[in-house]
Structure 1
C-alpha cells in the first residue's frame, strides 16, 4: 500500500517540523507500506520532506488551492491521501468530491479554535465559514483522524456521523532524544514549564494564581518553577509584580535545546498545558509531553493524554492547580529514575508505534472499501 500525509501551511512551526521529521524517519521502518511525508510552506525547504509553495500560491486562499492541486495529483498515484484539514476553505466545494481516497486529519476542534485565534467578528465569521465548508469537506472523506479520541469523535459527530474514525497521536523517536542526566537535588523541588509562546491554553495564569493563594509552606524544601519560552510584556509584569511570585518563578526566556537541557537536568517535574479547556479540549496529544517523557521527566498536567497513565507514579493529572501538589509530586518523583520513566513510556510516545497501530487498525481495511 502507498499512502501520503500532506500538510500545507503558511509557515510550519518548529513543533510541526519536528513532528513531521519523526514521521518521515519512522516511515523507513514500516513494512509492506510506503508512507510518504510531504509538506509545503512559504519559506524555503529546510527538510527533505518540505517544499516551498510556488510564489503565486503563497497568498492565503491561493495556498488552499495549491493544497488541492497537490492532493489531486497524489490521489492518482497513492492508495490513500491523508490531508491535514484546511479551515474555512472555499475550494473544498469544488475539489473534495473529486478525491475518493482522501482521509481528513484534525489537530483541533477548528470551529471552536477559530473563535480564539481571531477575536471579535473576524473569528466568528471564520468559525461560521469553517462550520459550513468543514462539514462539506469532512463528509466527503473516507475516514476521519484526530490526534486525540476527543477530537476524532467531535469531528464525526459535528460533520459526518456515518464516517469511521481513529486516532493518530503525536509521537517521537525515543532513540533520538537524549535522556536527561539526573541532577535533582534532595532539599528542593524544581519544575519546568516550557512553551514556544505562553498562550492562554497553557494556563500560566493558573500557576500565578496558585502562588497568590500562598498554598505552599515548607521550611525545609523550596520550590522553583522555571519558565522557558516567550512571555508577553503583560505576563512578565505580572510574574514580577510581587515578592512571592519573584521567589517561585525564574524566567529564562526563549532558549535552544542545548541551552535549556542543563536547567531540565535538575528538574523534578515537567509541567504540561494547564488550561486546554480554553480550546474546548479535555484531552491533549502534545509533542512537549512526549519529549519530556522520553527525557525521563515526570509530568504534571491539566489534561488527559494517551501518553499519560494516571496509575504511574511519574504522572499527576489535575483539575485544579496547586503549588503544594507540585511540591509533593516533585518529592515523590525523586525516587523514580529517568530510565524507568523513559522505558515505561516508550510504547505510548513512539511515532512508529502510532503509525503501525493506525495501519493495522484501519488503513488496510479502509483501502478495500
Structure 2
C-alpha cells in the first residue's frame, strides 16, 4: 500500500497510510489518504475501514468520529475528527507516572470499545498506544482509532499475519504457535488476538515497557529467530526476546512481571495473566475482563499510587501540530473567494443594467427621430421646391407646372 500526502501531515502512519489536516469553516478535520490498488481484492480491503467506521459511527464516544469519505481515480479519502491531544504513546513517553495512575480507566474504556467491536464480529488486529487517541485530558477520555487492518468476521476467517511487533498474539506467529501448550496449531485465529494486545498495552502503561523484551546480557545467539523473523523487531530501543516468549508459551517460563512495583498488586497481576495467556481458547474475553475485580473496584489504579492529577495536555511537536499560519492562509482564501464572488456579481449586474440602458436609448432616440422627421421633411421640401407647405397639394402643383411646360 502506498500513499501520497495532499494535506498537512498530522500522524506518522506505520503502513504508508497518511493523515492530513484540513480546515473546514471554523474546525479541523483529519483526512486519511489511501492510494488505490489495481486489483479489486486490494481495493475492497481499503473499503473495509470505511465499512467498520460506518458500523460504529453511532458509538463515537468510543471510536474516532467518522465524518464521511469520497474517492477519485487514484485515492480514497476518509474524513474523521481531528484530536489535537495526540495518541497514548506520546503520553507514555512524556507523562508515564500520570498514565500509570490512569491505567485502569484507559483499560476500561478500551475494553468497552473492544466489547462493541467483537459483538459486531469485528477484530481490530492492531491495538497499540498509537491507535489509542486522547480525546480529552480532564476528564480522561480515550478513543480507538485506525481500522486499516481490521477484519469483519462474517463469511470469512482470520488468517492474515498482520499487526505490530510486540503486540502480536503468539497464535499469529508461524513458529511460536506450535509451542503453545494445549493448543492445536492452525492458520486461523479469533478476536482473542485483541485481548493479548490489551494485556501488553496495560503492562506498558504500568511499567513503560512491553513484556518479553531482551534485558541486560540475555541476548543469546538465535534468540531472535524463533518466530521466523530475523532481527528488526525493535521496541523501545530493545529487541524482542523470542526465546523467552517461546518458553512462556510452552509453559516452561512464567509471565515476566518483574517490572511491576512490589506491593499488593494481586488483582492487576491476575488481569494481566488472564489477558496475556498463550492459549487463545483460555484467554479472557472483553466482557469478562470488564467484570474483573481490579476494573470494577473503586480503589486507586495501583496499590501505593494515589488518585492522579488531571492528565496535562501534551505539547505536540510543531511539525505535527496545526500551524496558525495555515489557518490564516485558509482565512485569506475565504476572503479572496468572497471578494471574487462580489466582483463577479457586480459584473453581471452592470451587464444587465448596460443592456437595459442600450435598449432604452434606442427606443428613446428612435421615437425622437421619427417625430422630428415627420415634422421637418415637409418643411424642407416646401422650401426647396417653393411650393405650399401643405403636403397634400404638392402633387397637384407639380402636375400644373408640368402641363404648362408642355403647352409652351
User: If the length of structure 2 is used for normalisation, what is the TM-score?
Assistant: 0.24
Structure having greater relative contact order (Cα 8 Å, sep ≥ 6): 1
Greater fraction of residues in strand: 1
Question: Which structure: larger Rg?
Answer: 2
User: If the length of structure 1 is used for normalisation, what is the TM-score?
Assistant: 0.25
